[in-house]
Amino acid sequence: MSASGARLEAITKELHAQWQLTKDYWADAKSLEFEQKFMEDLFASVNRSVAAIDQLDKLIAKIKKDCE
């Protein structure tokens, strides 16, 4: 995986961990709404993005190899 994809994944894991800690102190209907509206979509989008970055890295490596 590229450095960018790995960094994005690491930062997202840290955000997820911090969100879990936040939920210990903010546990009401609004926090649940916030999680469903923003956090779940963000985590899903990052997962798709990391997968796309990985595919692009493989494609670029193949193109480089084909051009040698």
- Express each pLDDT in 2-32 by its tens digit: 788 889 999 999 999 999 999 999 999 999 9
Q: How many angstroms separate the CA atoms of 47 and 9, rounded?
A: 8
Whole-number percent of the chain with pLDDT over 70: 99
Q: Is the pLDDT of residue 1 over 90?
A: no
Q: Is the pLDDT of residue 68 over 70?
A: yes
Q: Which residues contact 46 (CB under 8 A, 6 or more apart)?
A: 8, 9, 12
Q: Where along the chain do its domains lie? A: 3-67
